[in-house]
Structure formats: structure tokens, C-alpha cells
Amino acid sequence: MTTDSLSVPKDDFIWLEGLRNEKALGWAHEQNAITLAAFTQSSEFNPLREKVLKGLNSPEQIPVVSKCGNDWYNFWQDAQNPKGLLRRTSLEEFRKAQPKWETVLDIDALSKAEGKDWVYHGVFALKPDFNRALIFLSPDGGDASEVREFDLRTLEFVTDGFFLPVAKSRTGWIDNDHLFVATDFGEGSLTGSGYPRIVKIWQRGTPLSEAKTMFSADKKDMMAVGYHDSFKGFERDFVVRVIDFYHREAYVLNAQKELTRIDLPTDAKFSTWRDWLLVQPSSEWQINGETWPSGSLLTVNFDAFLAGDRALKPLFIPGAHSSLSGVTATRDQLNGYSFTRDHIILSITHDVVNRLEVLTPENGEWRREPFGKVGELSKIHAWGVDDDTNEYFVTVSGFLQPASLSLGNLDNGVEVEAELLKQDPSHFDASRYQVSQHFAQSDDGTRVPYFVICRKDVVSDGQNPTLLYGYGGFEVSLDPYYLGVSGVAWLDRGGVFVVANIRGGGEYGPEWHKAALKEKRLRAYEDFACVARALIASKITSPAHLAAQGGSNGGLLVGNMLTRYPELFGAIVCEVALLDMYRYTQISAGASWIAEYGDPQKPEEWAFIREFSPYHNLDSTKKYPPVLITTATSDDRVGPDHARKMAAKMQAMGIPDVYFYENTDGGHSAAADKAQSAFKRVMVSEFLLHFLGRKVQE
């Protein structure tokens, strides 16, 4: 690579940056009109959109609930309530086919009353009485939210209660009169990633300006957060300095609010449960004469560890094909386990298919029992209902299997089958389809798993329209899941669906993820391309009939399929993507991902980042497949800048069949409600079949 190629790249389309840039929005509006005219005007579009929307709004779908005291809360969206209802019921009612719900907060009514298009972003109830809650509301579906205190008895917002204006706040209860607050406190209070760097404790009845500072992270860090562990009898307060996406320093606060560092490797994930500290090292960890591998799960008494005890006990050791399940959406970004009052439930995967175990501490040792039943190539997930009981929820689903929700109690033992409470509806006739798992060999010999979902009578003639989906980043696993309305919008239209479990994800633990970090990023793209070649070699499809789809980091993945492997694909769907990897750290929250991709402002790192920056690897002499690039104006995480600039540059280069669509609302999901989601799904389906061709179904 020449010195000139590493200099600051010329950017003729920087004028398209900025979420609310009027000139950019005008350009996007013109592009939307072209795309909508091309892919939403067929006679099939509206009937299919209505069918997909009906499925998304089905009253039979499982209402996901969380227990708060004696009430079971659910957030529900349907045709009558597109913005949604926060509602609650009793367990006795929830067991019924048609429970009676009490409305707690009507987001549609609130939006109408206040003249704002609020998007619900969650509720945080105060334990143990659950009389108060913090409600998070986004004005446009972006990550930034307003926070308001809500009375769960009177069902009204609390006058003069806790309130935070729209920001990317991290806040939560300590007790009735105190919150941990990390928010935009004014000049200098945010990191370069746009997240809060200062953690304070805010006392009721005092102005936010008087909140007491507990910790300040560096401006170059990703963020800082504080949280309260409310497990009865083991209450603790923590502050975490999030250095970057994969490194952190954790502190526990004593009664005097003094901080004590928890002496762990900065790349280790941790949690506390009862009197235990649980640790997952992301790199090999040598301690106390022992060497623990990356991806193991270790435990020790929390207080003893603070006092210097380093005699950790292993709860899980990974194997060549087994790991704890990939990153889950828990407050600590932990992998593969959940808690009840007296037990830990482990989720262990073997070649992306999981099983469960229950661990129970007994007299200083840990009893281990297999738990739950699941079908082949399906997914079982279990989690504790609350901290006060040994009740648990368990769901089972698969690509062709709608999710079921059951309630059990480990007090009855692992052998007693959980009570089936709810079953998701079927959206398509699964009996016509089959699921199979295969393995492709990547360029360096690595074995890459992938799932194929297709008709049982599929003919290997290379003519099947096939959609290959992937992600490959941030240690996120792509496990089996019910395809739902995707079955309607794709399988029932003759399509084959493929999920590739490439490096960069968490399917085989931290090492699988680290194999595609920074200068190794191309390994993820080689993996995805090897799956594409395997599909072509098996004659499931051919380049003219094969498409790639991905969003966010997956959008960067398919952006690289476009620029590096255009000969393998007949179409590309690139959603809410990172594409300009030179300026990504200066767009929205991009600086928070330097640990994943590298820092383009460092010449030695831009040298390898440039290799996977789609925006900078476009070549006017190459032939590219048709591409649909979608984004949202309100995406304050990745930013619509990438999508706009990529589409504009391709069009300026004279590349044909470059389509762009920018939704206004929805943030990083690019859809604020189910109607917008249905519209986008069917538009994508129309785009794909327009260029891949329809295969007549008998």
C-alpha cells in the first residue's frame, strides 16, 4: 500500500452527514421516492404487507412479562395501539387464554396529549415494593431518552419527581430517595463516544446540579455507569468505568460511598449473585497458580475475594466446540447464565445448538444437573422470574417452531416439567420446510457453521432465490429463532434462508470473537464468502440468485461482500450500516467501537481498517450487484450518514441499481412501530425477488 493511499481520504459527500441536515434530508426524500416507486407498487405489495402486519399484530403472540411484586407487567403493541401499552395483570389472569389487563401507561394517548411521537424504551421499577418506576421515552426512537418518575399505584407521573431530559442517560434506583445518574450534565460531561462519563448519586428533593459525584471516567473512555444490586440480603452498589467495549474497571461502594476496585482483568466480565462473585475471563488468566482459559466461568466468595482470596472454582470450562451462549442482554453483558434465588441456570452451546444445566451451591461445592428438553437444532432459553423465588421461565423455539413460554419452579426439582403458559402462533405452514446445519471451510481452514432453511422438496438446480444473513461482531451469536413473518415474506415466496455463524460472533466463545477483531477483520468476511461459495457449490443457488443481508455491524459485513466479493451475489441488502470506516469514530456513537474495529486516526491502524471500509473500496471499473441501502434519520447510534454517503457515491460513479431508503423514526431499528416494520420487510422482499427472480412454487 502506498503512502498516498494512507493519507486523509478525499470525501465529496461529507455534506450528507448530520442527522437533521436539511440538505441531506432533501436528498434522502428524493431517493425514497425512487425506491418506493420501484418496490412498493406491485399488485403483491399491499396484500403481503397486510398479511405480514397482521402476523406482527397477532393477538395470539406471547406477551413477554416481568414480575414486579404480585403483578406481571407487559409492553404490548398491536393495530389499535401502534405505539404500545404498558400494562399489568395477575399470574392467575395470565394463565388464561385471554387475560384481563390493566393499562398502566398508554403511549399512544400520551403522545397525542403531549403532541410528541414518544417511543417507549423501558421501565425500571423500584424494589421491593414496586410502588414507583422510572419510565424511558424516546422522542424519535433513537437511543437518547427522557426519564420520568411514575407512580405505579396512582398510574400518574410524579409531580416534582425524578426527571431527566432527553439524553443517553444511564440511571437506576438505589432506594426510594436516591438514584444513580450518569447523564449529560453539561460541558465536559460526555465521552468522545457521546455517552456519560460522570456517575453521581441524586437525592430526592434536590436539584440535579447538587447530585454528589461518585466517579469520573476519562473523556477517551466509552462511558461510566453506576448500579445497585438489590438481591435481598446481599445489596451492593457498584460503579463501572467502561474503558471500551471490552475493557472495564469495576468498583464496589461501602456504606461511606468509598470505592474499592474489584481486582479483575479489565477484559473479564463479572457479576455478583448472593455471596458469590462470578467471573468470565476473555483471555487466558493465570492466578493463584492456576491457568483458566478464555470463556470459562469461575466463582469465589465476593467478600473473600475483596480480602485477597484467589482460590476460584470453575463452573464451566469451554471445549473445542462448546461454549457458554453468546452475549445476552443483561446489565453486565454476561454470557450464558441466569439466576433464581438459590440456583444458577447455565446455557451451554455445542456447534451453536444449546442445552441447559442447573448449578446449586452446597457446602462449598456445586451440584450440577441437566435441565430442560429441546428438539434438534432448536433453542432453549431459561431465566429466573425474580430474586425472591426459584421460579423460572423457559422458552423453546426454532427456525420453524413458534416459541412456547412455560413457568416452572426449581423447588420441585429439575425433573418436574414446567407449566406451559403460552404458545406463539404459526405464521406459515412449517410442514413444507426443513432445517439443516452444515459447515463450510474458510480460506484459512476454519470450520464455519451455517443453517439452511428451505422447502423439503427443494431442487438443487442453482435457481433458488437464496438470502444469506450474517452479523459477525461484538461476540453476538446468531442462534436458532422462529422466522415468523419472515416465513411469509420470504420462504412462502419461494426463498431459501441461510444464517452464517461467522467469526466475530460469540458462537464459540471469546476466541471466536477475537479471531476477527481489528487487523483480523477480514477473517469474518472470508467466512461469510466461504458459506456463499458452499451454497453455490451445492447448487442450492448460484450467484445470480444469491443475496446477502445484514444490519449495523452486519451492514458493514454485507458492504464488504459488495466491494470484495461482488461476483458471488445477485443482490445486497445493507441496513443501518457502518460503511465509512475513516470517519466512523466521528459519526454518532462510533468512537465507542474502536476496540472492535481500530482507530482510523492512527495511520498504522487506518492501514488495516481501509481494507474493510466499503466506502473507500468502491471501484468504478467493477461490476456490482444491485444494492438496497436502508437507514433511519433518528439513528443516533450508527447514524444515517454512512448509508447516505455510500449510496450517493455509488450513484455518482455511475453504478446502476443503487437504491436508498431512509425512514424518519425508529432509531437504530429503523422502524418505530410494527406498521413500519411490515412495510420495510415487504419492500426488501420485493427488491430481492425483483433481482434474484421468482421461482414458481407447485
d(CA 393, CA 391): 7
Q: Is residue 82 scored above 90 in pLDDT?
A: yes
* Inter-CA distances, 595 with 181, 195, 642, Å: 25, 16, 19
Contacts from 329-333 at CB under 8 Å and sequence distance 24+?
330/271, 331/227, 332/269, 332/270, 332/271, 333/269
102: confidence class by pLDDT, cuts 50, 70, 90: very high
For the segment 528-541, the average pLDDT, to the nearest whole number, is 98
| 613 tagged catalytic | no
d(CA 541, CA 533): 10
For the segment 48-60, the average pLDDT, to the nearest whole number, is 96
Q: Are 234 and 272 in contact (CB under 8 A)?
A: yes
Q: Residue 579: what residue type?
A: L
Q: Express as a percent the part of the chain with pLDDT over 70.
A: 97
For the segment 218-234, the average pLDDT, to the nearest whole number, is 97
Domain locations in the chain as residue ranges: 4-39+488-501+524-692, 60-167, 171-261, 265-317, 322-425
Per-residue pLDDT tens over the stretch 112-169 = 999 999 999 999 999 999 999 999 999 999 999 999 999 999 999 999 999 999 999 9
Contacts of 684 (CB under 8 A, 6+ apart): 489, 549, 573, 628, 630
* Inter-CA distances, 272 with 180, 236, 279, 487, Å: 18, 9, 9, 40
d(CA 336, CA 553): 22
Most distant CA pair in the chain, distance: 73
Question: Tell me, what's the pLDDT at 335?
Answer: 65
| 668 tagged catalytic | yes
Q: Is residue 586 scored above 50 in pLDDT?
A: yes
- E strands, 332-464, are 337-339, 344-350, 353-362, 365-371, 378-384, 391-398, 401-409, 419-423, 433-441, 447-455
Marked catalytic residue, from 121, 294, 668, 685: 668
The H-or-E segment that residue 239 falls in is strand 236-244
Q: Are 481 and 529 in contact (CB under 8 A)?
A: no
Q: Is residue 93 scored above 70 in pLDDT?
A: yes
Per-residue pLDDT tens over the stretch 451-474 = 999 999 999 999 999 999 999 999
Closest listed residue to residue 490, CA positions, set 549, 556, 566, 560: 549
Per-residue pLDDT tens over the stretch 405-447 = 999 999 999 999 999 999 999 999 999 999 999 999 999 999 9
Sheet arrangement for strand 102-106:
65-68, 71-76, 85-89, 102-106
Q: Is residue 327 scored above 80 in pLDDT?
A: no
697: confidence class by pLDDT, cuts 50, 70, 90: low
DSSP string, 196-237: B-EEEEEETTS-GGGPEEEEE--TTSSEEEEEEE--TT--EE
d(CA 625, CA 643): 17
672: confidence class by pLDDT, cuts 50, 70, 90: confident
Contacts of 49 (CB under 8 A, 6+ apart): 678, 679, 682
d(CA 215, CA 596): 25
Contacts of 255 (CB under 8 A, 6+ apart): none
1: confidence class by pLDDT, cuts 50, 70, 90: very low
Q: Express as a percent the part of the chain with pLDDT over 90.
A: 93
- Read off φ and ψ for residue 284, nearest 5 degrees: -55, 135
Q: Is residue 202 scored above 90 in pLDDT?
A: yes
Q: Is residue 303 scored above 90 in pLDDT?
A: yes
Q: Is residue 537 scored above 90 in pLDDT?
A: yes
For the segment 557-580, the average pLDDT, to the nearest whole number, is 98
Does domain 4-39+488-501+524-692 fall under CATH 3.40.50.1820? My reply is: yes
For the chain, the C-alpha Rg in angstroms (whole number) is 25
Per-residue pLDDT tens over the stretch 496-527 = 999 999 999 999 999 999 999 999 999 999 99
Q: Are 181 and 162 in contact (CB under 8 A)?
A: no
Residue 605, Cβ neighbours under 10 Å: how many?
Answer: 16
Question: Tell me, what's the pLDDT at 325?
Answer: 87
Marked catalytic residue, from 552, 592, 634, 685: 552
Per-residue pLDDT tens over the stretch 587-624 = 999 999 999 999 999 999 999 999 999 999 999 999 99
Residue 13, Cβ neighbours under 10 Å: how many?
Answer: 18
d(CA 479, CA 327): 11
